[in-house]
Structure 1
Amino acid sequence: MSGTNVSTDVVELLSAFPVADELAERFAAAGHRLYLVGGSVRDALLGRLSGDLDFTTDARPPAVQKLLAGWADAIWDTGIAFGTVGAAKRGQTVEITTFRADAYDGVTRNPEVTFGDTIEGDLVRRDFTVNAMAFDLVERVLVDPTGGRAALAAKVLDTPATPQESFSDDPLRMLRATRFVSQLGFTPAPRVVEAMTAMAGELGRITPERVQAELSKLLTGAHPRAGVELMVATGLADVVLPELPAMKLEIDEHHQHKDVFHHSLVVLEQAIDLEEDGPDLVLRIAALLHDIGKPDTRRFEEGGGVSFHHHEVVGAKMVRKRLRALRYAKDVIEDVAQLVYLHLRFHGYGSGGWTDSAVRRYVTDAGHLLPRLHKLVRADCTTRNRRKANALQRTYDELERRIDRIAAEEDLRRVRPDLDGNEIMRLLGLPPGPQVGRAWKFLKELRLDRGPLDHDEAVAELFAWARSEGIEPPG
């Protein structure tokens, strides 16, 4: 918080959003109060008010709709059952919610919606004190009944009521705490950590979709490692992502190997350092879970060694299963799984045995994920042996140069057979069907192995393949 006069700080930030003053005037003229509230106030006090504004008011939803009519460019009522009316004005989105005084049933996270009459009563039912502040847009004063401003200055995350009451009302707040640790760099109060640890199992009441939304915000925050560590330490991860604590493998004096969980956190941080255009959710999930298959594949070898054979194959399957359970989008699931599956392949390159064909396959199998795969492989180098680390990075530099060289000669990102499907059908006299698909696949594999073929050579190879399949070309 940059200044001593909080009201002045907020007013200055709000000057960039004239819709706030316009709304305040309309509500005041009708005898109602209007407050900027919650995360909007928190962010304003942090000097970074975002574009979407949240307001609260004593006006009931029908009255809010009437006040917005004739002013807003668009109005929607998808949240009206919970007292929220949304609107847009000159590209600015606002949500206005009637004071709430809800009661929870203790079984689901769905409250019995009850409207309140005071701003103080509304604020004390919110999740954390840093989100339990409001700014009176008419009087230009901060309303802070639970000490949110002091908590914000101290970067402490605490609850307005007791944590037990707060988390019992809505268990998702426990996961939201880990998200705020990641996004804002806050430290949870000891009583909050204690309650999260004791009540972690309550998170099972929450739908996977809501859990996934909070997890994604945590992972794309500024400090995701701190959020993940809190999630694991309190037992929340046992409920929502049990594969994470499972990576905390015991290390004894006879079987030395990296702590897989700690290694994964380091890889996450190193992958973040390689991001170029802001947080990359797919890359971050892949970095955190790239070794998810190690616990299930760990084998103790004679002589004191430890192996994790095929952990990338097992890991890709586990990633798909977990991300599906969390209702991630199909493209996110497949991208993360493919990165996990491919993250070890580079380590066969250092032996010097890769042909141009192997490089083509590496690029082709990665497809659009190649830039992310480059980052993941580099981030996966966590050895403390500086000489070994430098050697690995030099080897990957050499592979990238080789990819660029071959790509300059061939369009690796769009490897296609030298003959397309129409020409295959014409040359072999085939109708559309499985045989054409097999011929196309044969020619693609040939292209990967040998690079581009001239037309006559490709036709000759196609005819030879066709005869081996019992297909006699016409003429």
Structure 2
Amino acid sequence: MMNQDMALKEQRLHDSLPEVLYRIGDIADQQNIECYLVGGYIRDVLLERPSQDIDIMIIGDPIAFAREVQKQLKGRNFVVFERFRTARLELDDAVEGPVLLEIVGARKESYNPDSRKPITEIGSLEDDLSRRDFTVNALALELNALNRNRIVDLYGGIEALHSGILKTPLEPEKTFSDDPLRMMRAARFSSQLEFSLTDETLDAIKAMHTRISIVSRERVSHEFLKIMQSPKPSIGLKILFETGLLKEIFPELTAMAGIEQVDGLGHKDTLLHTFQVVDKLAEKSDHLWLRVAALLHDIAKPLTKRFSRHTGWTFHGHEVVGTRLAAKIFRSMRWPLEPLEYVQKMIRLHHRPIPLSKEEISDSAVRRLMFEAGEELNDLMTLCRADVTSKNPRKVRQIMQNFNRVEEKIDEVAEKDLLAKWRPPVNGIEIMEILGLNEGRMVGVIKKKMESAIIDGEIPYDRDAALAYIRKVWDEMQAASPPQKSDSV
């Protein structure tokens, strides 16, 4: 059955290849050069996954060959990477349209112990396939006419694909010692493909996890975020935790692991809960930074954990502390700072809808939530729903029904108050222009009073009403105390 199944998949591989690849094979025949399609493209097509990574490997000079391909097939955007004996170019395929590919030369590699940068030299097909990270990525397909479409599988990659396992072509200790980033890639591919690591592979990562320190933080973070984008991130996250990699690259997360008992009272394992939340959210949203917010929503619980004999375990203020810790993590992980404010907002507000779901919901409470969450309100509610991880189905059902009531109330208030945009009808710049004020504390005070008046129902969500209220507040403030020179024109 396995052979029949893989034969069908191999036929699909042949049928789905861009025609331009065979034209490259014909050029290789003209030059008497061995030419192969290699790597992730073969893996993904066999797994019926989309793939954009097309790598052509030749036995010979890849730069000269790439220039000939560019000349004969009218390639464009030609780029050469001399150090890696690689050329990149874009070609047109009759069916696929523009195709971006890299042409590389077969090589073998050696490494210094304190660096993951390889010392490369010209190698054979076997040399090149043996240096790859996992057997599922060490497949080659011949493009020369004589044996066209023959798959070269020197390390059991086809069987590994069928069995859903990840293992290295050579001894895992050598593979990970040469390039420790491959340990992160093991966790990433496990998450993306939902494959299992062999015991030997897992044991090697546990033994060598500290070598990840020689890899740049940018490369580590790149792999980490790919795990977060996978269908079930907890697969990769658990591998990172169990092997010790997570403690090396993200100690704030590992601090959440475990259950502490006092007087027979324990709190739930916050790390396990967090992994569950991330997976539940991933089922509903592919928004990377919302997933990151789910990962960090309880990040400050270890710092705010307290035990009282009267109330048990508490984590007061973990939302506020968590926003500060998120900023530190973003800098440490070299993540882009642009999404930080969004992630901090999700952390700060992730408990706000919960009290609303347990009581009679007032219009003012809903308005305040809408104002504070702004355009991210739907994301916040998605996070809150994912945060429910109780093993009691009755409790989960009740909480979800309460959240439904909150959302119904949000829709009701939004329609009644025309709050669809969830932003103040007058902003700070307009307040400065209307009242003739310079930027300063006074503008913020007036804006906050206006927002509170709308939230509490004192004035409607209406621009004219807001403008009249602003002038009224300013008049009252002037009557009570003469304006400061720094706030007047």
TM-score (structure 2 length as normaliser) = 0.88
> Within 1, Cα distance between the matches of 2:326 and 2:393?
31
Name the structure 2 match of 1:225.
234
Name the structure 2 match of 1:387.
394
User: Does 2:309 correspond to 1:309?
Assistant: no
Q: CA RMSD in A?
A: 2.5
Name the structure 2 match of 1:12.
15
Name the structure 2 match of 1:98.
105
Structure 2 counterpart SS, 1:264: helix
Aligned ranges for residues 16-415 of structure 1 at < 5 Å? 17-48=18-49, 50-70=51-71, 71-77=73-79, 79-90=81-92, 91-116=98-123, 118-138=124-144, 139-140=147-148, 141-252=150-261, 254-275=264-285, 279-303=286-310, 305-352=312-359, 355-408=362-415, 409-415=417-423
One-letter amino acid matched to 2:176: F
Residues 85-107 of structure 1 deviation map (CA, whole Å, 9 limit, x = unaligned): 11112321111111121211121
Structure 1 counterpart SS, 2:223: helix
The Cα of 1:307 is off from its aligned counterpart by: 0.9
One-letter amino acid matched to 2:68: L
The Cα of 1:423 is off from its aligned counterpart by: 6.7
* Change over 3 Å in CA distance of 1:441–1:213 after alignment to 2: same
* 161-170 or 440-449: bigger deviation: 440-449
> Within 1, Cα distance between the matches of 2:247 and 2:332?
14
Are the equivalent residues in 2 in contact too, given 1:418–1:458 (CA < 8 A)? no
> Within 2, Cα distance between the matches of 1:244 and 1:456?
50
Are the equivalent residues in 1 in contact too, given 2:289–2:343 (CA < 8 A)? yes
* 232-241 or 90-99: bigger deviation: 90-99
TM-score (structure 1 length as normaliser) = 0.91
Structure 1 counterpart SS, 2:189: helix
Are the equivalent residues in 2 in contact too, given 1:364–1:412 (CA < 8 A)? no
> Within 2, Cα distance between the matches of 1:152 and 1:110?
29
Are the equivalent residues in 2 in contact too, given 1:132–1:148 (CA < 8 A)? yes
Are the equivalent residues in 2 in contact too, given 1:243–1:292 (CA < 8 A)? yes
1:465 to 459, 477, 482: 477
Structure 1 counterpart SS, 2:121: coil
Residues 47-72 of structure 1 deviation map (CA, whole Å, 9 limit, x = unaligned): 33523311111232431332133324
Residues 411-452 of structure 1 deviation map (CA, whole Å, 9 limit, x = unaligned): 3534224487457534x3x26543556544543444344442
The Cα of 1:5 is off from its aligned counterpart by: 6.0
Are the equivalent residues in 2 in contact too, given 1:87–1:95 (CA < 8 A)? yes
> Within 1, Cα distance between the matches of 2:8 and 2:356?
61
The Cα of 1:176 is off from its aligned counterpart by: 0.4
Are the equivalent residues in 1 in contact too, given 2:432–2:439 (CA < 8 A)? no
Structure 1 counterpart SS, 2:68: helix
Are the equivalent residues in 2 in contact too, given 1:418–1:452 (CA < 8 A)? no
Residues 313-335 of structure 1 deviation map (CA, whole Å, 9 limit, x = unaligned): 22222222112211111123322
Percent identity over the alignment is: 32
* Change over 3 Å in CA distance of 1:106–1:76 after alignment to 2: farther
> Within 1, Cα distance between the matches of 2:430 and 2:44?
59
Name the structure 1 match of 2:95.
none
The Cα of 1:77 is off from its aligned counterpart by: 2.3
One-letter amino acid matched to 1:416: P
Aligned ranges for residues 435-446 of structure 1 at < 5 Å? 439-446=446-453
One-letter amino acid matched to 1:25: D
The Cα of 1:353 is off from its aligned counterpart by: 6.5
> Within 2, Cα distance between the matches of 1:344 and 1:68?
59
Structure 2 counterpart SS, 1:452: coil
Structure 1 counterpart SS, 2:299: coil
The Cα of 1:218 is off from its aligned counterpart by: 1.1
Are the equivalent residues in 1 in contact too, given 2:70–2:89 (CA < 8 A)? no
- Please list every run of 5 or more consecutive structure 1 residues that lacks an aligned counterpart in the other structure: none
> Within 1, Cα distance between the matches of 2:431 and 2:338?
32
The Cα of 1:457 is off from its aligned counterpart by: 4.3
The Cα of 1:274 is off from its aligned counterpart by: 2.4
Are the equivalent residues in 2 in contact too, given 1:324–1:333 (CA < 8 A)? no
* Change over 3 Å in CA distance of 1:457–1:132 after alignment to 2: closer
> Within 1, Cα distance between the matches of 2:481 and 2:21?
73
The Cα of 1:377 is off from its aligned counterpart by: 0.4
